[in-house]
Structure 1
């Protein structure tokens, strides 16, 4: 009798294991998918964005014909694109400082003046060489809201 109950128990266990749990078919929908090579919004506080922004502002200051240094106020709508390099594009608000470029000061230690410029930058980062490149930038006066 014990062997009969044991055989029934094993048979029931085998049937249960074979059937498994019943799955409910539910459609799976993607909420937001970024295609490879497409531009995607990214966190403005990520280390990668901060490095690209820092490079852009430093390059802007070193190549600008302006006499004073500019300092970062904010980063607006940064986006990234992955190709054979990392591409970043973002808008920034830069403030004119009281420091002259000829004084070779760090812009971060300089105090702001009231004038601001809004700049659009496109920066690439090549992970093979570990170098950034400023591909383009365009700046215009920023009108203050009173």
Structure 2
């Protein structure tokens, strides 16, 4: 009987675990300028630039318009941001932040999800959707 009680308590607590004020699985807004969001955003742009082989120039963050965090089997950082094309060649730069924006502007509106598993020290760009931004 005690074992069944323990299983019940464990199962009940597993579906309602709090991460701050949010239940596991539900996303919640977080400040776009928080350290963790900025770190996830920089990682997303780095991975985007690596994968964006049809583009000659690197992109950098112009503005993070929204950010959410979701606790799952790790942490998802769900971000919408505006990227701008820079003067730096994509293949020669690992960090596009110090690069100046291109004189021929090209901006992208992007939706990124970065999944971080802190206890495994791993991070991956799990969703990458970008389209041209029209003012």
| Length-normalised TM-score, structure 2 | 0.76
Specify every segment of 5 or more residues in structure 2 that has no aligned partner in the other structure, as ranges.
1-20
Structure 1 residue 119, shift from structure 2 partner: 0.6
Structure 1 residue 84, shift from structure 2 partner: 2.2
Report how many aligned residue pairs link the two structures: 112
Partners of 1:47 and 1:123 in 2: how far apart? 14
Corresponding residue SS for 1:112 = coil
| Length-normalised TM-score, structure 1 | 0.71
* Residues 104 and 77 of structure 1, relative CA distance in 2, 3 Å threshold: closer
Counterpart of 1:94 (choices 83, 95, 119) is: 83
> What stretches of structure 1 move > 4 A for 4+ residues in a row?
none
Partners of 2:24 and 2:94 in 1: how far apart? 41
Structure 1 residue 108, shift from structure 2 partner: 1.9
Counterpart of 1:117 (choices 108, 115, 129) is: 108
**What is the match of residue 127 of structure 1?**
118
Asked if 2 retains the 8 angstrom alpha-carbon contact of 1:99 and 1:105, the reply is: no
Moved more, 52-61 or 95-104: 95-104
Partners of 1:89 and 1:123 in 2: how far apart? 7
Specify every segment of 5 or more residues in structure 1 that has no aligned partner in the other structure, as ranges.
1-32
Counterpart of 1:46 (choices 22, 34, 39) is: 34
1:10-48 CA-to-partner distances (Å, cap 9, x unmatched) read xxxxxxxxxxxxxxxxxxxxxxx6333211000111111
- Root mean square deviation, CA, Å: 1.5
Matched, 1:142 2:133: yes
**What is the match of residue 48 of structure 2?**
60
Corresponding residue SS for 1:77 = strand
Bigger radius of gyration among the two: 1
Partners of 1:86 and 1:115 in 2: how far apart? 31
Asked if 2 retains the 8 angstrom alpha-carbon contact of 1:44 and 1:50, the reply is: yes
Greater share of strand: 2
Asked if 2 retains the 8 angstrom alpha-carbon contact of 1:79 and 1:88, the reply is: yes
